[in-house]
Amino acid sequence: MNVELALPTRKDENFRYSDIAALGTVWPIVTEEIVVAEGAEQTLQIVETGAGAVARHIAITLGKGAKFDLRVLTAGPAYGRIAVDVRLAEGADFTLGAAQLATAEETLEIVTEVTHAGLNATSEQIVRTVLAGKSVGTYLGRIAVERGADGTDAEQSVRAMLLERTATANARPELEIYADDVKAAHGCAVGELDAQGLFYLMSRGLTPPQAKRLMLQAFIAEAFTGAAGEEELSAAAIARLEAIL
Amino acid sequence: MLKIDNLTANVADKPILKGLSLTINPGEIHAIMGPNGAGKSTLGYTLGGRPGYEVTGGSVDFAGQDLLELEPHERAAAGLFLGFQYPVEIPGVSFVQFLREAANAQRKGRGEEPLSGGEFLKLAKEKAGLLRMDMDMLKRPVNVGFSGGEKKRAEMVQMGILNPKLAILDETDSGLDIDALRICGEGINAIMRAPDKAVLLITHYQRLLDYVKPDFVHVLAAGRIVKSGGPDLALRLEEEGYEAVVQEAA
């Protein structure tokens, strides 16, 4: 078992936007180790909707041709940190679909380090963040393609929606590539709800919270598309959106 | 049903409507025609309550209520429908889900029971059929990937489902081919031609009026109605152009 002992500070890049005081209440974090054998497939669904602080660190090792589908919904904690390290062997495939919804003074973060260690491995990360009030939402995503991991295909799609200008979104995608023939696409955007779309929906009778909720539901849907627990994840997200709006 | 009295409105601090008055009674169909920049779309958006369209004077009474006091969704629940010149695409939100929520939000606003899934689908199918629209299209995201004509027909399907008292249709005829124009025109007649309903058609051209016969035609120029008449006024405009008619009125 791997436990980091000293509480980090904000000087540590991986904790730069963290709520260190809240982190201290759940420190140290015990790393949850997951090993998926050659050719095996596994899924994991993390739903954190409690109000207290939560910090998790998950380390996933994927054998040759192994597949892992991870879905995350963080919606409720005053401080929520989900850190995921993934190491992919040849031909392995990793999917992350994550949504984090925050309001008031909440701080939520998703921190990933995806290492392509073998040939032709694929990874796809979709992260959607909705922020109201004075909340802070962060995505730090590092992709490392090691020497010899030719044929890597790594994608990151990161979008944040600010419901109020007082909220803060941080996104830092990083790529480190030491191989050839690598596809690494990343898209990153921070925006606000489309005013024209909102007026259109309201002109048909939807109340302002209903119109916003519908647009946000669509915004985060992509993170859960194709998940085994898609309906459950969507329902939990909608419940939180309704509380936030 | 609708009484607009001396309405003035600004967009981005620029006066666009400059004292517009218009009364529409139940059972009537009115057409507002006018050159580009006259304020036609501004009138529609102002009545719909779009943010950024600032009323600076005058009043609008809609079925006994002060329309200008109501939020956009309250105007819809009160029975106002705004058909958009450029219907907005909303990726990720299906028409069916959106319209069912909208219909039920309106019903709730009026203190009525919500429609069940089955009741709603039956209603949607009937109205889609009226506009010759495939139900499968309504399972797609709102207006995404629709052609100009499909968007306008989808607006009319929405109008059919929401069953308003007053429809303000902003250039519903733009972007339509001849067949779609006829289908939309027939749709408007089927949905809105009733003794307790009324329509305000905003248009550049006479052609929609071949299918939806107006009782009154008004010419809007520089933010005011400068001339009103019967259906023959639209024909005259088509022949002589706006300039001649506007100058004669001045």
Percent of chain A at pLDDT > 70 equals 98
Element containing residue A142 per DSSP (H, E): strand A136-145
> What CATH number does the domain containing B70 carry?
3.40.50.300
* Contact state of A201 with B98 under an 8 Å Cβ cutoff: yes
Count of Cβ atoms closer than 10 Å to residue B200 Cβ: 26
Average pLDDT over residues A159-174: 96
Average pLDDT over residues B9-20: 95
Q: Is the dihedral of CA B8, B9, B13, B14 positive or negative?
A: negative
Instruction: State residue B204's pLDDT score.
Output: 85
Q: Which residue has the tokens 């606000």?
A: A192
> Coil, strand, or helix at residue A218?
helix
How many Å apart are CA A188 and CA A86, to the nearest integer? 21
Nearest to A97 by CA among A142, A45, A39, A160: A45
Give ipTM to 2 decimals. 0.94
Please give, one letter per residue, the 3-state secondary structure of B47-91: HHCCCCEEEEEEEEEECCEEHHHCCHHHHHHCCEEEECCCCCCEE
Instruction: State residue A213's pLDDT score.
Output: 95
* Contact state of B105 with A205 under an 8 Å Cβ cutoff: yes
* Contact state of B141 with A206 under an 8 Å Cβ cutoff: no
Per residue in A4-41, pLDDT tens? Answer: 678 999 999 999 999 999 999 999 999 999 999 999 99
Domain with B23, as residue range(s), is 2-249
How many Å apart are CA A233 and CA A70, to the nearest integer? 12
Is the Cβ–Cβ distance between A35 and A92 less than 8 Å?
Answer: no
How many Å apart are CA A202 and CA A208, to the nearest integer? 6
Q: Give the domain ranges of chain A.
A: 13-193
Check whether A2 has a pLDDT greater than 80: no
Q: Which residue has the tokens 């969704």?
A: B73
Q: How far is B127 from chain A (nearest CA, A)?
A: 16
CB contact set of A25 (below 8 Å; sequence gap of 6+): A53
Ramachandran category for residue B13: left, alpha or beta (phi over 0 → left; psi -120 to 50 → alpha): left
* Contact state of A214 with B97 under an 8 Å Cβ cutoff: yes
Question: Which positions in chain B touch A218 (Cβ < 8 Å)?
Answer: 90-93, 141
Cβ burial of B89 (10 Å; 0-12, 13-18, 19+) is middle
Q: Smallest Cβ distance to A214: which of B87, B101, B109?
A: B101
Check whether B112 has a pLDDT greater than 60: yes
Per residue in B116-172, pLDDT tens? Answer: 999 999 999 999 999 999 999 999 999 999 999 999 999 999 999 999 999 999 999
Q: In what order do the strands lie in the sheet with A41-48?
A: A41-48, A67-75, A93-102, A122-131, A153-162, A183-191
Give how far Cα B212 sits from Cα of B27, B155, B157, B172, B191, Å: 13, 16, 16, 12, 11
Find the length of chain A. 245
CB < 8 Å from B in window 188-207 of A:
194-197, 199-207
How many Å apart are CA B211 and CA A92, to the nearest integer? 62
Structure tokens at A163: 């419901």
Instruction: Please state the domain count of chain B.
Output: 1
Check whether A154 has a pLDDT greater than 60: yes
> Coil, strand, or helix at residue A119?
coil
